[in-house]
Amino acid sequence: MPKMKTKSGTKKRFRLTASGKIRFSPSRKRHGLSKRPKKMKRQARGTAIMSERDRGLVLEYMPYARVR
């Protein structure tokens, strides 16, 4: 049986932490920042941990992710 492929967009957007959580970069930080509140820009800095409910959806696209 051939290997399953990981979705290309998933590879680029998400990473697994050592404990199996999914880390991602929040959206809406590329352009049009003058119309966004300071609080939103500040909270979208860096990376964030995905909620448990959304985690299953992303893991479907990552067949070889090691989940604990």
**Domain boundary assignment for the chain:** 8-60
Phi first, then psi, for residue 24 (nearest 5°) are -145, 165
The predicted model scores a pTM of 0.82
Instruction: Report whether pLDDT(1) > 90.
Output: no
pLDDT exceeding 70 applies to what percent of the chain? Answer: 100
pLDDT at 67 over 90: no
The whole-number pLDDT of residue 49 equals: 96
pLDDT for 44: 95
Residue 6 near residue 63 (C-beta atoms within 8 A): yes
The answer to whether residue 68 scores a pLDDT higher than 80 is: no
Q: 20: which 2 tokens?
A: 């199996």
How would CATH label the architecture of 8-60? Irregular (4.10)
Is the predicted pLDDT of residue 37 greater than 80, yes or no?
Answer: yes
